[in-house]
């Protein structure tokens, strides 16, 4: 529980992320007594949108009283001079700056904020939303700029997937249990499937999304983070440095072998353009070229405007020896461990057993055991905000890690190959089914 005194400055504190995620998360943390040291929450934006008061009024009443609005344009220095007067009064307090603004405004904000903070001894942290850069070059440039004004221990790069219970439980299940860790390698695992399917389309984000696409929006961050947790080696110690060291190491062994892009029908109308090669769907075969995973494919698939939301990692084990199959004239299913993040947060282990009726020698049937992860927190941002306040960087992305993530996808950014078109509302595009069939397998969609 954080008792030290701190103030939170949310740049873009009237926007969508602030309204939907940050304020509700802060409110829940506050009402549970986690924000003992909080002095004030400042929302900084050019205009106090009509619903900002409403958002704040809906908060826990105690927290609502700590929230203020400051008219602010991150591009203009005069606003920072005003902010400086306020900061001068917050002697000894830790200052947490959350950049919940368009990524196109990051550079100006970091430069101006860095300049302002030079005159102040207050401990400080800066939290930066995704996307962090648009490719390897711009991510490096942003890292360099940040390091001019902040040390790495003050920088929190967010990927909110890391705040999810199930993602953290991939790590816990692997490294806290001998029964699983012993078989977590190329000798037992056939392949891994990582899915992030969405039923929503680009919604109100069309203009932004059209410059970004699914590789930058999902594959480079959330999907590769799930891969890193599944494939990383155990850290030397359970500390933030060693955990992040192992993630960087596995990402540096990771390369995309092949990739296919798609776009949903009607995307151009949604975005309001006549021509675009931006992908709303991508599937990829990814290899982790190290001792543990040599020859084990990781298949990644993400897309918009599909039939249902499904986010999960499925580890598929090798088939049993064939003699048993020949004897029974039936083919047992491959064992699987599935970590589901959405629609539910749960673990499922699927295995074969003899059928409840019938003789001793019978074809086995698929059986599964499910465990739903209990959680104290409703929302990943609650976990992440608390970690920022408490100074735990384990679930945030280090500068070398963000660059390693971009390196994996770099070759596939901005290639002008035309995406295939798929109908809205289908389970999975047929091109994605073929993509796996070429390797003799199929997607697990349960
Ligand atoms: N929304 C989500 O669910 C979500 C999820 C993951 C990551 N993110 C990331 O979070 C960030 C914010 O996204 P968002 O969806 O909340 O965007 P948004 O709804 O467009 O909000 C942007 C905020 O920035 C403010 N702003 C714009 N120009 C400004 C300026 N020159 N000076 C000061 N404030 C300015 C806006 O208020 P004014 O226009 O009044 O200034 C508003 O408060 C982005 O980096 C996005 O990629 C968002």
In this structure, the answer to whether residues 41 and 89 fall within a common structural domain is yes
**CB distance 74 to ligand 1 below 6 Å:** yes
In this structure, the answer to whether residues 315 and 215 fall within a common structural domain is yes
Say what the pLDDT of residue 356 is.
Answer: 82
In a domain, 61, yes or no: yes
What's the half-sphere exposure (Cβ side, CA atoms, 13 Å) at 281?
A: 31
Overall average pLDDT of the 311-331 stretch = 81
Which of 147, 191, 222, 333 is the catalytic position? 222
Say what the pLDDT of residue 323 is.
Answer: 59
**CB distance 12 to ligand 1 below 6 Å:** yes
Q: Estimate to the nearest angstrom the gap between the alpha carbon of 102 and the chain centroid.
A: 18
Position with higher pLDDT, 16 vs 358: 16
Say what the pLDDT of residue 330 is.
Answer: 78
In this structure, the answer to whether residues 180 and 273 fall within a common structural domain is yes
Integer Cα distance of 200 and 178 in angstroms: 40
Element spanning 341, H or E: strand 336-342
Contact 193, 444 (CB under 8 A): yes
The tokens describing 335, both together, are 């064992």
Overall average pLDDT of the 165-187 stretch = 94
Overall average pLDDT of the 302-330 stretch = 86
Ligand 1 mean position, distance from CA 333 (Å)? 47
Ligand 1 atom closest to Cα of residue 13: 43
DSSP state of 248: H
The tokens describing 168, both together, are 């953290």
Rg, the chain, Cα only: 24
Average predicted confidence (pLDDT) for the chain: 93
Nearest CA to ligand 1 atom 32: 73
In this structure, the answer to whether residues 262 and 402 fall within a common structural domain is yes
Nearest CA to ligand 1 atom 25: 12
The yes-or-no verdict on residue 324 having pLDDT over 70 is no
Overall average pLDDT of the 285-313 stretch = 98
Question: Which one of 88, 107, 129 terminates a domain?
Answer: 129
The yes-or-no verdict on residue 443 having pLDDT over 90 is yes
**CB distance 14 to ligand 1 below 6 Å:** yes
The yes-or-no verdict on residue 2 having pLDDT over 70 is no
Say what the pLDDT of residue 326 is.
Answer: 62
In a domain, 155, yes or no: no
In a domain, 282, yes or no: yes
Integer Cα distance of 127 and 397 in angstroms: 11
Contact 277, 418 (CB under 8 A): yes
For residue 187, the domain's CATH number is 3.30.360.10
In a domain, 23, yes or no: yes
What are the residues whose beta carbons fall under 8 Å from the beta carbon of 308, sequence distance 6 or more? 197, 199, 343, 427
In this structure, the answer to whether residues 405 and 295 fall within a common structural domain is yes
Ligand 1 mean position, distance from CA 130 (Å)? 11
In this structure, the answer to whether residues 346 and 427 fall within a common structural domain is yes
Give the mutation target among 10, 16, 384 for probing the ligand 1 site: most ligand atoms within 8 A of CB: 16
Residue 85 phi/psi, 5-degree rounding, is -60, -40
**Is 222 among the catalytic positions?**
yes
Integer Cα distance of 59 and 380 in angstroms: 18
Ligand 1 atom closest to Cα of residue 46: 41
In a domain, 139, yes or no: no
Ligand 1 mean position, distance from CA 108 (Å)? 14
In this structure, the answer to whether residues 370 and 283 fall within a common structural domain is yes
Say what the pLDDT of residue 61 is.
Answer: 77
In this structure, the answer to whether residues 116 and 225 fall within a common structural domain is no
Question: Which one of 112, 129, 146 terminates a domain?
Answer: 129
In this structure, the answer to whether residues 221 and 365 fall within a common structural domain is yes
In a domain, 141, yes or no: no
Ligand 1 mean position, distance from CA 349 (Å)? 40
How far is the CA of 275 from the CAs of 23, 256, 263, in angstroms? 38, 27, 12
327-382: pLDDT as tens digits: 667 778 899 999 999 999 999 999 988 888 767 777 788 899 999 999 899 999 99
The yes-or-no verdict on residue 93 having pLDDT over 80 is yes
**CB distance 133 to ligand 1 below 6 Å:** no
In a domain, 151, yes or no: no
Position with higher pLDDT, 59 vs 42: 42
Tokens 């306040």 belong to which residue? 389
226-282: pLDDT as tens digits: 999 999 999 998 899 999 999 999 999 999 999 999 999 999 999 999 999 999 999
Contact 99, 106 (CB under 8 A): yes
Integer Cα distance of 322 and 52 in angstroms: 64
In a domain, 259, yes or no: yes
Ligand 1 mean position, distance from CA 314 (Å)? 34
Least confident of 24-38, 51-65, 184-198: 51-65
Question: Which one of 106, 129, 152 terminates a domain?
Answer: 129
Overall average pLDDT of the 38-54 stretch = 89
Domain containing 265: what range? 162-376+396-437
The tokens describing 218, both together, are 């999902």
274-285: pLDDT as tens digits: 999 999 999 999
**CB distance 16 to ligand 1 below 6 Å:** yes
- When divided into structural domains, the chain yields a total of 2
Say what the pLDDT of residue 57 is.
Answer: 67
DSSP for 411-440 reads GGTT--PPPEEE-TT-SS-HHHHHHHHTTT
Ligand 1 mean position, distance from CA 175 (Å)? 38
In this structure, the answer to whether residues 222 and 336 fall within a common structural domain is yes
For residue 32, the domain's CATH number is 3.40.50.720
In this structure, the answer to whether residues 119 and 167 fall within a common structural domain is no
The yes-or-no verdict on residue 1 having pLDDT over 50 is no
In this structure, the answer to whether residues 75 and 167 fall within a common structural domain is no
Nearest CA to ligand 1 atom 6: 130
Overall average pLDDT of the 124-129 stretch = 98
**Torsion (CA) 23, 24, 26, 29 in degrees, nearest 10:** 170
3-class DSSP assignment, residue 356: coil
């Amino acid at each position: 529980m954080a008792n030290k005194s701190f103030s939170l400055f949310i740049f873009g504190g009237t926007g969508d992320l602030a309204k939907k995620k940050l304020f509700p998360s802060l409110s829940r943390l506050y009402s549970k007594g986690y924000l003992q040291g909080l002095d004030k929450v400042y929302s900084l934006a050019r205009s106090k949108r009509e619903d900002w008061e409403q958002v704040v009024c809906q908060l826990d009443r105690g927290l609502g009283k700590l929230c203020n609005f400051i008219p602010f344009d991150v591009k203009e220095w005069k606003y920072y001079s005003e902010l400086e007067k306020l900061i001068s009064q917050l002697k000894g307090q830790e200052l947490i700056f959350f950049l919940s603004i368009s990524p196109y405004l990051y550079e100006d904000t970091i430069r101006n904020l860095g300049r302002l903070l030079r005159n102040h001894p207050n401990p400080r942290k800066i939290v930066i939303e995704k996307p962090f850069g648009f490719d390897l070059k711009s991510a490096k440039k942003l890292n360099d700029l940040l390091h001019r004004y902040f040390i790495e221990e003050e920088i929190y790069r967010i990927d909110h997937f890391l705040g999810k219970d199930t993602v953290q439980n991939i790590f816990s299940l692997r490294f806290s249990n001998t029964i699983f860790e012993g078989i977590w390698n190329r000798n037992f695992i056939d392949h891994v499937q990582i899915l992030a399917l969405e039923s929503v389309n680009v919604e109100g984000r069309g203009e932004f999304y059209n410059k970004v696409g699914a590789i930058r929006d999902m594959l480079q961050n959330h999907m590769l983070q799930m891969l890193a947790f599944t494939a990383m080696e155990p850290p030397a110690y359970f500390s933030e440095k060693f955990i992040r060291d192992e993630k960087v190491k596995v990402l540096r062994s990771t390369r995309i072998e092949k990739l296919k892009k798609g776009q949903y029908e009607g995307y151009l109308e949604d975005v309001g353009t006549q021509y675009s090669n931006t992908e709303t769907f991508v599937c990829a075969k990814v290899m982790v070229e190290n001792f543990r995973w040599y020859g084990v494919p990781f298949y990644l698939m993400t897309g918009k405007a599909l039939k249902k939301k499904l986010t999960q990692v499925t580890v598929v084990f090798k088939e049993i020896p064939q003699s048993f199959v020949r004897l029974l004239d039936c083919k047992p299913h491959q064992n699987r461990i599935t970590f589901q993040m959405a629609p539910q947060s749960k673990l499922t282990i699927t295995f074969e057993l003899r059928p409840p009726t019938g003789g001793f020698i019978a074809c086995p049937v698929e059986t599964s055991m499910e465990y739903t992860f209990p959680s104290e927190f409703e929302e990943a941002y609650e976990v992440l905000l608390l970690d920022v306040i408490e100074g735990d960087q384990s679930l945030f992305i280090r500068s070398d890690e963000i660059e390693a993530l971009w390196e994996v996808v770099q070759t596939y950014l901005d290639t002008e190959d035309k995406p295939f078109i798929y109908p809205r509302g289908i389970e999975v595009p047929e091109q994605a089914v073929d993509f796996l069939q070429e390797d003799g397998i199929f997607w697990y969609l349960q």
